[in-house]
């Protein structure tokens, strides 16, 4: 089945690094837009990160074209302005004012391209913190997410770049909204998405909990759950999460596991009654589950409608039978090795985004991009010779 390409024909120019900005371009590219990534000479430093950063570039830069420009040179800057002049959307996530100082800020670019949608991914929206430098981890610490994730007194960042990625998603939402409005007005606009405000939105449920109850939300490891059974349980081998989140599921759970005595107790028929009786309910349930293997439990629970989950690891997802039915797409890495990575998690009109992708080498598409701008062979040769534009050696 052909992958859906609802954004086919849109031209995106991207000045980004790390995760938040590239996420925007990756989502747009995955939905069919043409994304040209402007990299510095030699390529984006994100390509060369080690440790936990080693996966940033391949994950969030698939489906893009690469041109390397020296934005400190007059000729390289001129190429950037030409690219922006023909673009529908610009995406950037550098420090506040960085592109403005190069003459590539929204006001200057909108003067020559009134339909331009200019998406800036920043640490903070306007306010006292606006000029601070932020990272995913900074936002998680400031915004309460790290506090809620770790045990009391020991804040821990979430196990993925959730704020970078979610902030990028909000940027995409803003872009798509602005494109719809441009269809009515003919004019573009500037959009700003941010790490800190994204974090506040994600922990908003805990803020609302305080507003409703008057009591601060406890960190997740110490929380009082809204449900009596909503836990990771030890089995004979590997742990398993089980959630019983309705009264009907409680009845099903008791019958499924032969715990008729618990079902017979009418003081446990309602969820809030069970929450108050957790200390009495959980020990026999834990003992029962501890006597079974994870495979036995999965076989018993699968197809029942009961929420459950084996505790998976990222590297195990490569072999996940469900993801391998359209949730992963083939990717050729920089060194030629082939792998599979998650595609955009959507289905549209019965189709899934995703197609074989090859990561661009730094400047791999420089000539093609310049040709598409209308530059002649002599001008392209001169730009390459001057060092304002770079292509792979």
Q: Coil, strand, or helix at residue 274?
A: helix
The ranges assigned to domains in the chain are 11-202+326-390, 225-313
Element (H, E) at 41: none
Residue 315 CB-density burial (10 A; 0-12 exposed, 13-18 middle, 19+ buried): exposed
Query: CATH number of 225-313: 3.10.20.740, 3.40.50.2000, 3.40.190.10, 3.30.1540.10?
Result: 3.30.1540.10
Residue reference for tokens 């994100």: 46
Please indicate whether the domains covering 11-202+326-390 and 225-313 agree at the CATH topology level.
no
For the record, the structure tokens of 71 come out as: 């934005």
| pTM for the full predicted model | 0.94
Q: Of 1.10.10.10, 3.40.50.1370, 3.40.50.10540, 3.30.70.250, which CATH number belongs to 11-202+326-390?
A: 3.40.50.10540
What is the chain's pLDDT, residue by residue, as a tens digit (393 residues)? 578 999 999 999 999 999 999 999 999 999 999 999 999 999 999 999 999 999 999 999 999 999 999 999 999 999 999 999 999 999 999 999 999 999 999 999 999 999 999 999 999 999 999 999 999 999 999 999 999 999 999 999 999 999 999 999 999 999 999 999 999 999 999 999 999 999 999 999 999 999 999 999 999 988 888 999 999 999 999 999 999 999 999 999 999 999 999 999 999 999 999 999 999 999 999 999 999 999 999 999 999 999 999 999 999 999 999 999 999 999 999 889 999 999 999 999 999 998 899 999 999 999 999 999 999 999 999 999 999 999 997
Chain centre distance of CA 386: 38
**Residue whose tokens read 């800057």:** 77
């Amino acid at each position: 089945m052909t992958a859906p390409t609802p954004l086919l024909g849109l031209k995106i120019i991207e000045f980004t690094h790390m995760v938040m900005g590239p996420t925007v371009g990756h989502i747009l590219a995955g939905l069919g837009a043409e994304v040209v990534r402007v990299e510095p000479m030699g390529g984006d430093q994100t390509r060369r990160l080690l440790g936990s950063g080693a996966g940033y570039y391949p994950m969030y830069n698939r489906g893009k074209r690469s041109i390397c420009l020296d934005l400190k040179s007059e000729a390289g800057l001129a190429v950037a302005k030409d690219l922006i002049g023909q673009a529908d959307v610009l995406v950037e996530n550098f420090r506040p004012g960085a592109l403005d100082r190069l003459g590539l800020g929204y006001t200057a670019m909108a003067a020559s391209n009134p339909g331009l949608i200019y998406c800036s991914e920043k640490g903070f929206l306007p306010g006292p913190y606006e000029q601070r430098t932020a990272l995913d981890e900074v936002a998680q610490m400031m915004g309460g997410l790290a506090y809620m994730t770790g045990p009391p007194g020991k804040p821990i960042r979430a196990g993925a770049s959730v704020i970078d990625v979610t902030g990028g998603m909000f940027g995409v939402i803003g872009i798509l909204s602005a494109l719809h409005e441009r269809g009515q007005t003919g004019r573009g606009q500037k959009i700003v998405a941010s790490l800190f405000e994204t974090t506040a939105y994600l922990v908003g449920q805990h803020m609302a909990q305080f507003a409703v109850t008057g009591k601060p939300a406890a960190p997740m490891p110490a929380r009082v759950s809204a449900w009596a059974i909503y836990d990771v349980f030890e089995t004979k081998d590997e742990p398993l999460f089980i959630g019983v989140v309705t009264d009907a599921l409680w009845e099903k759970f008791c019958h499924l596991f032969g715990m008729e005595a618990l079902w017979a107790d009418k003081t446990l028929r309602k969820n809030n009654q069970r929450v108050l009786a957790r200390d009495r309910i959980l020990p026999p349930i834990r003992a029962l589950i501890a006597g079974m293997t994870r495979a036995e439990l999965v076989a018993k629970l699968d197809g029942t409608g009961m929420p459950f989950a084996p505790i998976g690891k990222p590297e195990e997802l490569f072999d996940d039978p469900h993801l391998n039915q359209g949730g992963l797409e083939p990717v050729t890495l920089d060194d030629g090795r082939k792998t599979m990575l998650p595609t955009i998690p959507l289905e549209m009109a019965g189709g899934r985004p995703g197609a074989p992708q090859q990561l661009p080498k730094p400047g791999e598409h420089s000539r093609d991009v310049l040709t598409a701008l209308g530059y002649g062979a002599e001008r392209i040769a001169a730009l390459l010779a001057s060092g304002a534009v770079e292509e792979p050696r």
